[in-house]
Structures are given as structure tokens and as C-alpha cells.
């Protein structure tokens, strides 16, 4: 067993924070001391960890004395300000925000993809974008087998990706619709009740996640290419992505057409995915078995299925991958990175 | 004005049937006489058309005497059996099922794409698949400008595509969830209440529409390639598609990466779409304006947006198109075909 560590969670009161607590417990991470940190708004609230009630403290520049590992999940602004302070105080930061992901000095890690990169850290390690992490869980084993060149992908992203507020917004819209007894073709909400998303999320598909870049892509859509290049050490990798928010609570799904350097043998592709850690192959059309958002919710492993030779690419494979956005897409991967530090 | 026609609707009691009635009325189709036909189960029910109540008659082989135009929307089995009888009786059939779409003797038509093909009919004209029709509304004007080679597409398909039963199933699941006061992470329905879809559709994304082929694609997924080739007269056109059912009631959305023969100028692409009949360009990232399923529901025009140069294709364009599945994806297009016959 490793020496128990002093772990701090920044953003403990959020949706990812709750999952960080659960992952540390379930994976029996050697927690000697646990410090919960959040904004002044959440400070004073109590969270339970392994049967003990812990009071959330207000995050300040002095919060990290004696901390070994600091798990950040409180947005990019908080990370930019406090992660360097935590690192200076001697903690290793695992940061769930996008603040440091493309920083050359900061390793960006999915342990199943590039565990070795952890070693080069200088106090901060970045956790990738959720859709990117989930997609790479299936793409990377295929890359090892056939050499990936580019992908075309569309996402079906859950509202949990916007945190607890996103979940509440979908719930509120649907409960309002049900309570009012409205029909399926009636307007369900006055516009001023829409807050997290620019448009109604219930009964809709929003082709916008994150802000727009000059190219017309959103920031979210370029993360698979940018972060994928960095993690796979593949500077020529290309990814054309459309990121879409759908009325699903917790797990993301991604439809992918991937092109490879070498011919893709379907049986070899399946074998590569079956041998991959953290991946379940669920792929039996005859019994209508394929990965489903509601099935992977709450599960550590990502699921891949709908494997088929791509009919519009020479060395191509089509697949469908789903993963819990709060787990492999966030908290689980952060704790797995922390495990690499033990 | 054209001579008034004797129009028959087969499948009058279904979701598309209701929209056929509405389209005939709203578009002032010259209906002299209207005969409503359905299975014995629905016969005797009454529907209203232009202020008059019409009784649905049971569909038989003798239903088509004197009928000029027969609009079929009662599934492939009914079409296979009765469309030839209707044609024999002298009616021109516009068939909304997949029964005759790939038949060489049967034109398959989206009027904005291949109106001229109507003239070659021998009594039956096929209405294309809903996702195909909606996608081609945006793709065809781009093809005319740049010459399309292949597309990669993922759909976000509404439950109306499964007819009234699909709509009811999503409603039932959501009302049950709301009434039980369950949380967002609890199971919402016992399995035996799931009927139309093999899995829960609420809070989920189902990567299966229609049945699986040996290739691993579903029948639905190959329709864009097969029907697209036929309608665009483009035998080399390729389309790799993932069709996904989402908890949206009425309109389909499609994310498309399209590759063209010639370089794609973004302004020229926009101009081609703005000039295209039946298409609204909704594309202003700065005001978060893009096509939305809930906005196009009930509207005749399809909407296209999220236009951007594809970052993984040389002559590529990415776009997002949405259309009312019951209108351009079914009833409206059928009535537009009928208008070509006048």
C-alpha cells in the first residue's frame, strides 16, 4: 500500500466534486486527510466521505499547505488562479478544467492512452475534455492496431456536462411540461426560465456546446483534434466534429467514422477493443445490443459498439462509443491520474 | 386552376395521415373529393377536412375506383399490396413507404432535387426516407455548386418517425417519470412498458433506427446513399451514416461533413443555400442562431446552419440541417409530388 495522502478537492460541491468523492472511496485511494474546498457560497456546507461529515472550506491561496494531491473541478478561472498556488505549495494538481490542457509544460492524460506522460509533470496535470476522453477510449486501441489519420464525429452530450445546473434545467423544463399537462407539440417554457442553455433543451438537440471560434467550429468541437494530437502524440491527427447537447442526463455518446493508415480488419478491430482496458464491447445487432447512455451512466468503463466497416472511407471503421461524462469524462479519469502519482 | 381531383389517403388515421390532410388544405390542393382509407381497426372513425367530417373507410382492393391521386402512408406491407391495385384502377400513387423507392420503374422524388423525374412514372411515385429528404434539401444546392462526392452524417431523429405510437411512448415514459417523482438518475420504467423502441427512449440516445443489415449498418443508415444516388443521378455518391433516435418529438436534425469535387467557398455555399427553394439559412453564431428541432417543427421549410469549412476534408463543408419529419420528411413532400402531377 502507498503512504496515505492528503487530498484536496477544489469544487467539492459540484456535480464532478460529488463523483470525485465517490471515486476516491470506491477505488480505495489512500486518503490520509481530505480537504474540501469551494467558493464562499458553498463554504460551511457538509459532505460525507467514508462515514465522516466534512465541512467545505472556502478556497484561498493558503488552502494548500500540506496537501499532496489537489483535484480541481471548479472551472477554468479558478484553476488559472489557484492551481499554480497549489503547485507552489507542493501539491500535485490534477485539473479538470480546460485552463492548462494545451500548455506545453502540462501533461494531458488519459492513463489508458498516455500514462507515461504523467512523469513529466511540473506540478500540474490536466484532465482532458469529457467527449475527447470517452472517444479516445475506443479510438486509441484502434489507432494502435491500424494507425488513425482522421475522424468525423458527432456527439450526443448529456446535460451533466454543464454541471448540476444543466441537470436541474432539463429536469425543471420536463417537470413543468408534465405538470402543466401540455401536449407534445406545445411550447413548454417561457424564454426567461431558460438559463444554462441559450435554447430549450427538453425535446431538442442543441448544436452548440461551448463558444464559437472564428472557424465556425465551437471550442468544444476542436478539443478532440487538439487534445487528441497531444495525448496520442500524433500531430497530424485530424478531427471534424459536431458537438450537440441532447436531453440526456448523464452520459455522452459519440458517433465516429475513423480513417486509418492501414486496412481495417473488423475482427482485429473487435479484438483490439476487447483487449483494451476500461472498454466494454457491446455489439450484437441480432439482440439489439449496443452502448446506451442510460446503461453506461454510473459505470466506470466506456462502451463501444455498432462496429462496421465504413462505407465511405477506404480504411475506415464506424463505431458508437458511450461513457459516463462525470466518471471517465471527468472524476474517474482525474482519480486514475492521481493513482499514477502513487 | 387545375381541375379538382379525387384524392385518397391510405393510412389517414396515422401521424403522417393527419399532416397530409393539413398540407392538402393549407396548400390549397384542388381536392374535388377526398376518400380516407385505413385498416378495419380505424374504419368508421371521423376526421375533419375543410370543415367537413369525413368517415374513414376500410381499405380494400376496390377502394380506388375513380381516384386520381392516392397518397399512401400505411407502411410498406400495405403499399406493396394495394399501391399496384390503385395504379391499375387509374390512380397515381404517391407512396410514403420504402416499398418502391429503389424500384427502377418508380421515380423517387424530392421536387426541389429531381422534379423532372415525376414525368416518367408508371402509376407509382415514391416519397423518400425522411432523413434523406431533409439532408438533400441542404446537400443538393451544395452539390450543384461544388459537386458532392461523399458525406459523413449522424442523425438526431424524432420519435414522430415511428408514427403516433413513437410519440406516445416518449410521452408515457416522461409523464411516468414526472408523476413518480423519481430523480434524474433513477430507472424510469419497467421494461415491459417499452414497446415501440427496444430500449428506453426518454433520457437516452438509441443508435438504431430500422433493422440491421449484414454490413453492420441499419437499413435507415443506407438510405441516404441509396436514395441520394437515385435522386441526384449520382451513382458514385457515398454516405456513411449513423442514425440515432433521440427524445425529440417531431423534427429531425442531421450533422453532416460533406466532401466535394471542387473547392468550397464559404460565401458561395451560403449563397447557394439562400437561393435554394424550401430552405432557410439560420446561421449566426454571434447570436447563437442555428437550426433547432423545436423551431422547425410545424414548418414547411428545412433549416440549415453551422456552416463551416470542414477541418478534416480538403474540399469539405460541415453543416447542420433540421426539418419537420412529418412535413418535408413525409406529408409535405408527398403533396408537393402530387402538385407536380397537376
Which residues does residue A158 pair with via DSSP β-bridges, in sequence order?
Answer: none
Residue A188 confidence class, pLDDT cut points 50, 70, 90 = confident
CA distances to A141, A168, B80, B215 from A236, rounded to whole Å, are 18, 40, 51, 30
Instruction: Tell me if A215 and B308 make a contact (CB, 8 A cut-off).
Output: yes
Residue B181 in contact with partner chain A when CB distance is under 8 A? no
Distance CA A24, CA A19 (A): 8
Structural element, H or E, at residue B260: strand B251-260
Of B286, B272, B314, B333, nearest to B132 by C-alpha is B333
Output the nine-digit C-alpha cell for A326: 462525470
- pLDDT for position A184: 73
How far CA B284 is from CA of A64, A145, A209, in Å, comes to 44, 41, 15
Residue B10: is it exposed, middle or buried by C-beta count within 10 angstroms (0-12/13-18/19+)? buried
Does any CB of chain A come closer than 8 Å to the CB of residue B207? Answer: yes
| Per-residue confidence (pLDDT) for residue A191, from 0 to 100 | 56
**Which of A19-33, A177-191, A322-336 is predicted least confidently?**
A177-191
Residue A2: pLDDT band with limits 50, 70, 90:
confident
Restricting to A residues 290-329, those with a Cβ less than 8 Å away from any Cβ of B are 290-294, 297-298, 305-313, 316, 318, 320, 322
CATH (one of 3.40.50.720, 3.90.1170.50, 3.20.20.450, 3.30.2270.10) for A5-128+331-340: 3.40.50.720
Q: How far is CA A111 from the centre of its chain?
A: 13
Q: Which residue of A has its CA nearest to B242?
A: A255
Position A44 scores a pLDDT of 96
Question: Which of B22, B135, B207, B325 to mutate: most A Cβ within 10 Å?
Answer: B207
Please check the confidence at residue A230 and state whether its pLDDT lies above 70. yes
| CATH placement of domain A132-157+209-325 | 3.30.360.10
Which pLDDT score is estimated for A193?
65
Q: Which three cell numbers stand for residue B243?
A: 442514425
Among A305, A312, A320, select the one facing B238 at the smallest CB separation: A312
Please name which of A168, A146, A151 lies closest in space to residue A159, comparing C-alpha atoms: A168
Task: Using a pLDDT cut of 70, give the percent of chain B over it.
Answer: 98
- In chain B, where the domains are located: 5-128+331-340, 132-164+195-325
Show the CA angle centred on residue A295, arms to residues B193 and A144, nearest 5°. 145
First CA to last CA across chain A, in angstroms?
9
Same fold, A5-128+331-340 and A132-157+209-325: no
Query: For B305-338, how does the pLDDT look when each residue is reduced to its tens digit (9 = 90+)?
Result: 999 999 999 999 999 999 999 999 999 999 999 9
Question: Catalytic: A252?
Answer: yes
pLDDT at residue B181, rounded to an integer: 77
Mean pLDDT of A175-204: 81
A297 dihedral zone (left: phi>0; alpha: psi -120 to 50; beta): beta
Kind plus residue range of the DSSP H or E element containing B302: strand B302-309
Number of residues that this document lists for chain A: 342
With contacts defined as CB-CB under 8 Å, which chain B residues touch A308? 215-217
Query: What one-character DSSP code corresponds to residue A212?
Result: B
Among A153, A207, A219, A291, which would you mutate to test the B interface (most chain B Cβ atoms within 10 Å of its Cβ)? A207
Q: Which of A214, A312, A313, A320 to substitute to test the interface with B, most B CBs within 10 Å?
A: A312
Tell me what ipTM this predicted complex has. 0.96
The shortest C-alpha distance from A279 to chain B (Å) reads 18
Query: Across chain A, what does the average pLDDT equal?
Result: 95
Helix (H, G, I), strand (E, B) or coil at B189: coil
In the prediction, which pLDDT does A190 show?
A: 61
Q: List the one residue out of B229, B239, B245 whose CA is nearest residue A310.
A: B239
Integer Cα distance of B113 and B234 in angstroms: 12
What is the structure's pLDDT at B28?
97
Strands B31-38, B5-10: pairing is: parallel
Does residue A179 sit at the B interface (CB-CB below 8 Å)? Answer: yes
Helix ranges (H only) for B181-331 are: 219-232, 266-275, 293-296
B283 pLDDT above the threshold of 80: yes
Question: What digits encode the pLDDT tens for the residues A80-98?
Answer: 999 999 999 999 999 999 9
Residues from chain A that touch B253, judged by Cβ atoms under 8 A, are 205, 207, 244
**Per-residue confidence (pLDDT) for residue B187, from 0 to 100:** 72
Mean pLDDT of A181-199: 75
- What are A107-149's pLDDT values in tens digits? 999 999 999 999 999 999 999 999 999 999 999 999 999 999 9
What is the arithmetic mean of pLDDT over B64-80? 97
CATH annotation of B132-164+195-325: 3.30.360.10
More confident residue, A194 or A154: A154
Cα nearest neighbour of A222 on chain B = B311
Q: Which of A310-324, B178-192, B218-232 has the lowest mean pLDDT?
A: B178-192
Order across the sheet with A69-72: list the strands. A57-58, A31-38, A5-10, A69-72, A92-95, A124-126
Q: Do B150 and A244 touch (CB under 8 A)?
A: no
Q: Given this model, what pLDDT does residue B194 score? A: 67
> Which grid cell sits at B29?
390542393
Amino acid at each position: 500500500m502507498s503512504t496515505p495522502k492528503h487530498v484536496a478537492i477544489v469544487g467539492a460541491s459540484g456535480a464532478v466534486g460529488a463523483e470525485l468523492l465517490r471515486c476516491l472511496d470506491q477505488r480505495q485511494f489512500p486518503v490520509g486527510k481530505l480537504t474540501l474546498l469551494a467558493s464562499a457560497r458553498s463554504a460551511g456546507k457538509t459532505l460525507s466521505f467514508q462515514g465522516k461529515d466534512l465541512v467545505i472550506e472556502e478556497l484561498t491561496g493558503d488552502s494548500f499547505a500540506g496537501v499532496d494531491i489537489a483535484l480541481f473541478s471548479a472551472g477554468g478561472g479558478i484553476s488559472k488562479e489557484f492551481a499554480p498556488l497549489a503547485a507552489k505549495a507542493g501539491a500535485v494538481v490534477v485539473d479538470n478544467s480546460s485552463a492548462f490542457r494545451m500548455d506545453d509544460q502540462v501533461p494531458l492524460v488519459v492513463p489508458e492512452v498516455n500514462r507515461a506522460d504523467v512523469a513529466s509533470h511540473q506540478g500540474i496535470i490536466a484532465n482532458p475534455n469529457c467527449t475527447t476522453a470517452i472517444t479516445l477510449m475506443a479510438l486509441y486501441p484502434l489507432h494502435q492496431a491500424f494507425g488513425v489519420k482522421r475522424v468525423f464525429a458527432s456527439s450526443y452530450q448529456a446535460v451533466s456536462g454543464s454541471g448540476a445546473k444543466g441537470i436541474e434545467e432539463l429536469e425543471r423544463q420536463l417537470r413543468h411540461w408534465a405538470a402543466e399537462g401540455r401536449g407534445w407539440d406545445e411550447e413548454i417554457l417561457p424564454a426567461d426560465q431558460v438559463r444554462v442553455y441559450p435554447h430549450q433543451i427538453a425535446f431538442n438537440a442543441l448544436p452548440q456546446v461551448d463558444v464559437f471560434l472564428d472557424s465556425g467550429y465551437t471550442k468544444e468541437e476542436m478539443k478532440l483534434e487538439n487534445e487528441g494530437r497531444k495525448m496520442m502524440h500524433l500531430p497530424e491527427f485530424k478531427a471534424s466534429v459536431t458537438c450537440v447537447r441532447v436531453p440526456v442526463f448523464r452520459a455522452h455518446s459519440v458517433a465516429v467514422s475513423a480513417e486509418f493508415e492501414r486496412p481495417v480488419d473488423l475482427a482485429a478491430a473487435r479484438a483490439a477493443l476487447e483487449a483494451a482496458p476500461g472498454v466494454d464491447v457491446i455489439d450484437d445487432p441480432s439482440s439489439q445490443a449496443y452502448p446506451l447512455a442510460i446503461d453506461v451512466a454510473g459505470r466506470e468503463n466506456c462502451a463501444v459498439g455498432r462496429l462496421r466497416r465504413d462505407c465511405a472511407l477506404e480504411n475506415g471503421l464506424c463505431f458508437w462509443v458511450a461513457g459516463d461524462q462525470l466518471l471517465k469524462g471527468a472524476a474517474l479519469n482525474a482519480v486514475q491520474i492521481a493513482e499514477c502519482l502513487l
